[in-house]
């Protein structure tokens, strides 16, 4: 098992990238360029997700040093974007994000795996509610599929069943698929909203 101490350079680069994207988003807000803000928020999300995926594959742990700065930057940008635009901040999905924040705080105090909860908060802050739900469902479904395949492959030796599973690569994959194919997925999964 590899510890996160061996990757300080990657964590430093990710933090610098998040800070740079945040400055670009702030400039976009000041110049009233919404596409620039959205591009920066998406860049923060993808940078944090892929760095978390790499580190999660190496040590089966989502690093707080990568995910929390991204949550803070994305949340701050969404809040200030709402304030600059003159509408209620986070007006799209406050209940959804509040529920995920409660889940993240519960994982911090009750000591069970909270990597997926942290990533779910980050995804819900960066994406629209329907795309975020699709991304989370795709991520959880792909991790469940992999866990079942691993269990079937080792059916004769139950002591070798996986006890921990790297969730960040699945969440990153689900987010990319849901973002790229959002129109198709939303019309298939949520026809009532149309």
Read off the pLDDT of residues 16-58 as tens digits, 9 standing for 90 and up.
888 888 888 888 878 878 788 888 888 888 888 898 888 888 8
pLDDT given at position 183: 77
| pLDDT of 14 above 50 | yes
| pLDDT of 15 above 50 | yes
Taking a C-beta distance cutoff of 8 angstroms, is the pair 118, 68 a contact?
yes
pLDDT given at position 101: 64
- The secondary structure of 148-194, three-state, reads HHHHHHCCCCHHHCCCCCCCHHHHHHHHHHHHHCHHHHHHHHCHHHC
CA atoms within 13 A on the CB side of 136: 22
Tell which wins on pLDDT, 170 or 158: 170
pTM: 0.77
pLDDT given at position 108: 61
pLDDT given at position 91: 45
Read off the pLDDT of residues 60-118 as tens digits, 9 standing for 90 and up.
777 778 888 888 888 888 777 766 655 544 444 555 566 566 666 666 665 556 677 78
Output the furthest CA–CA distance in the chain (Å, rounded).
62
pLDDT given at position 82: 66
CB atoms near residue 109 (< 10 Å): 8
Distance, in Å, from the CA atom of 123 to the CA atom of 137, rounded to the nearest integer, reads 12
Q: What sign does the dihedral 70-12-114-148 (CA atoms) show?
A: positive
Taking a C-beta distance cutoff of 8 angstroms, is the pair 156, 132 a contact?
no
């Amino acid at each position: 098992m590899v510890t996160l101490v061996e990757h300080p350079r990657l964590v430093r680069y990710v933090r610098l990238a998040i800070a740079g994207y945040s400055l670009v988003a702030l400039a976009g807000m000041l110049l009233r360029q919404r596409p620039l803000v959205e591009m920066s928020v998406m860049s923060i999300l993808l940078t944090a997700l892929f760095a978390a995926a790499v580190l999660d594959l190496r040590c089966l742990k989502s690093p707080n040093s990568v995910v929390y700065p991204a949550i803070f930057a994305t949340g701050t940008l969404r809040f200030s974007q709402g304030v600059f635009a003159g509408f209620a901040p986070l007006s799209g999905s406050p209940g959804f994000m509040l529920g995920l924040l409660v889940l993240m705080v519960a994982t911090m105090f009750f000591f069970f795996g909270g990597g997926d909860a942290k990533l779910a908060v980050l995804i819900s802050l960066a994406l629209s509610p329907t795309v975020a739900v699709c991304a989370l469902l795709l991520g959880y479904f792909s991790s469940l599929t992999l866990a079942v395949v691993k269990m079937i492959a080792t059916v004769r030796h139950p002591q070798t069943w996986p006890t921990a599973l790297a969730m960040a690569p699945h969440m990153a994959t689900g987010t990319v698929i849901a973002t790229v194919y959002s129109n198709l997925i939303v019309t298939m999964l949520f026809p009532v909203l149309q």
